[in-house]
Chains A and B, each alone.
Chain A
Amino acid sequence: MDLSPFEKDNSVSCRLASQIPDVCKIEDCCLGIDEAGRGPVLGPMVYGICFCPVSKKEQLKDLKVADSKTLTEAERENLFQKLDEARNYVGWALQILSPNIISTSMLQRTKYNLNALSHDTAIGLVQYALDSGVQLKEVYVDTVGPAEKYEEKLSQRFPGIEVTVRPKADSLFPIVSAASICAKVARDRAVKGWNFSEDLGEVDTDYGSGYPNDPKTKAWLLKYLDPVFGYSQFVRFSWSTAQTLMDSKAVTVHWDDDEEDGEKAAQRKNNRSMLSYFGASAGGNDQNPTHQTHRFFTERRLKSLDTL
């Protein structure tokens, strides 16, 4: 697994994929989807698919791929090695969603939540397999959100493919376990070798698991909080852990789509745009209350000053 395309620019979404085994283009195939790094406040979220001919399902079982969570890092690396050796009938593809992509998706003006992002990424990977000529007949997915709804969404999106969405699919279906191993290995490697694009000096890489409840992670977040910029792009800004720390320790930043309440919000929403620029009450220097600035200036947000 070569992560260098992602490491070159770890601020975006990046796809890594194995060669497509020839047998997958001829025989009916099954495909498993799983993700790694959904919960951490640090690092990317990785989506993985693994596929093989339906006829090779048993062979895959013999590889003893199991739910990645029950394995140590070394065991996962070992299993990924085995999957790699089975490359003549097992293929995989990954979508690495950088923490920056997660932050900007979730915090943009039209909110794009993590579930929608996850669903779309999964759909994108299945489509990639189809586009690559994999003869997909069965798809197995570990659920994100309610299983039934997700299953319906995927079935509609891919007519002719039998979609099975199950919680804990990674321990039920070997092909999902395989996908979970690919995703987890990629995530581990990406986090371990993270290239900080910011100049943070000698970065302390002892940030623990990256999960919000890990004391090491929390300590790291406190240490690397910049009062103006907040965090490195390694951190998911949209996580409440990060937001709470920035709210209490960093400079307050106002955005024009911030939700405000009470009088302040009413003032902004109702008349800040135009009316506040007329008259003296808005803090302008027009002491003559009857004077209305011409719209050439108000439309351009230009006003006279009486002091610098």
Chain B
Amino acid sequence: VMSLIFILMSTDSVIDTHRPESDPAFVRLRNPSTDSASLYMLGSDDLQLYEVKAFEEDFHSWFVGQTVQRDGRLLFVTPMDPLFLILPYLIKVGKEGKFQPVDQVVMDEEFPACSRLLSCTRSQASLHHIAEEKEVGSLKFHRYSQEKTMNWLKKKVERTVVALKKRNISVGEGVKSTTYVRVKSESDYHEEDYLRYAHGLISEYISEDLSKALLIHLGLPELTSPKETEPPSKKRKLSDKPVEAGEDYTKFNSADFARKPPKKMTAAQKSLAKVDKSGMKPMSSFFSPKVKAEKK
């Protein structure tokens, strides 16, 4: 018999003992980021949505009472804004440009449980964050709005930044992943580091297209090389080739390269320095690395 070990994080109780009309239940819903199934939980009467994340690492097991559980998995059930899961359905239908009743929009043959998202307390009340609303009599109609959605997501990013700072989450690159040892002190981080990190976190809950649009909306220039945000790849070590220095400075020790830079820039150099270099390759990129040369 498998035990499941949970940490339930919620402000309101998952199980409403006063009105236990329906028990909390795990449901499979479409993950907006991966477009495939992920596990979520709906609280009593579908009032609150929770996401389920598993802590999984090698070489862990549990002792539960008088039994042993092979996997050392720890499940976190944390409250989640249902709007993230409703959003993809609105976007899909929104391409037709029509106002529609949401219960006709949030439908999925593969994940029929998705209609239950509309029962969540926050769903109906917060649809205006991502859609335009029209009321005809007692009926409400909605149409996806990219502009509203971007503003909504921007707020989410900003709130995430606040949370990251409050929690002292290390957002810099110089972090050792296993121990979270901070290499830089907090004051060394720039606002942009926080924004990028928060954007990355929010992107776990939206599609790739939205993530890209949000980056532009936040005024964050796309990084020219993904290497700048990722820690250096360990794959290099797997190469069969002997390890060599990445740059060979001895090559430039000849007289041609020993020239010192002029102390004062000429007028031409100054004007060159002012040129917007974004998108331009640095000089160094024209020196082809050795690996490429060997392939020829």
Say whether A associates with B: yes
Q: Which residues of A contact B (CB under 8 A)?
A: 228, 254-256, 268, 270-275, 285-288, 290-291, 293-308
Query: Can you name 29 A-B pairs with beta carbons within 8 Å?
Result: A256-B58, A270-B238, A274-B177, A285-B34, A285-B37, A285-B38, A287-B35, A287-B36, A288-B35, A294-B203, A294-B204, A295-B177, A296-B197, A296-B200, A297-B204, A299-B175, A299-B180, A302-B55, A303-B54, A303-B56, A304-B34, A304-B38, A304-B51, A304-B52, A304-B53, A305-B38, A305-B39, A305-B54, A307-B28
Query: Is B33 interfacial (CB 8 A cutoff)?
Result: yes
A291 to B26, CA, bound (A): 24
A293 to B36, CA, bound (A): 14
Number of A-B contacts (CB under 8 A): 88
Name the residue of chain B whose CB is nearest to the CB of A307: B39
Find chain A residues with CB under 8 A from B234 CB: 270-271, 274-275
Main secondary structure of the interface of B (DSSP, over half): mixed
Q: Mark B35-48, 1 if CB is under 8 A from A, else 0.
A: 11111000000000
Q: A286-B36, A294-B200, A296-B197 are in contact. Are A302 and B58 (CB under 8 A)?
A: no
Q: Judging by beta carbons under 8 Å apart, are A297 and B53 in contact?
A: yes
Find chain B residues with CB under 8 A from A294 CB: 200-201, 203-204
A306 to B33, CA, bound (A): 13
User: Min CB distance, A259 to chain B, in Å?
Assistant: 13
Q: A256-B58, A298-B177, A301-B55 are in contact. Are A290 and B68 (CB under 8 A)?
A: no
Q: Judging by beta carbons under 8 Å apart, are A291 and B34 in contact?
A: yes
Find chain A residues with CB under 8 A from B21 CB: none
User: Min CB distance, B50 to chain A, in Å?
Assistant: 12
Q: Mark B169-192, 1 if CB is under 8 A from A, else 0.
A: 100000101101000000000000
User: Min CB distance, A28 to chain B, in Å?
Assistant: 54
- A-B pairs with the 8 shortest C-beta distances? A287-B36, A256-B59, A305-B39, A306-B37, A299-B177, A304-B38, A294-B200, A302-B53
Find chain A residues with CB under 8 A from B4 CB: 308
Select which of B28, B36, B38, B76 is within 8 A of A302 by beta carbon. Answer: B76
Select which of B39, B177, B208 is within 8 A of A308 by beta carbon. Answer: B39
User: Min CB distance, B231 to chain A, in Å?
Assistant: 8
A234 to B178, CA, bound (A): 36
A295 to B178, CA, bound (A): 11
Q: 8 Å CB contacts to A: which residues of B124-162?
A: none
Select which of B55, B57, B68, B237 is within 8 A of A228 by beta carbon. Answer: B68
Q: Judging by beta carbons under 8 Å apart, are B28 and A306 in contact?
A: yes
Q: With A285-B34, A305-B39 given, can you name 18 additional A-B contacts, CB distance below 8 Å? A: A228-B68, A254-B59, A256-B58, A285-B37, A288-B33, A291-B208, A295-B177, A298-B177, A300-B55, A301-B56, A301-B57, A302-B55, A302-B76, A304-B51, A305-B52, A305-B75, A306-B37, A308-B26
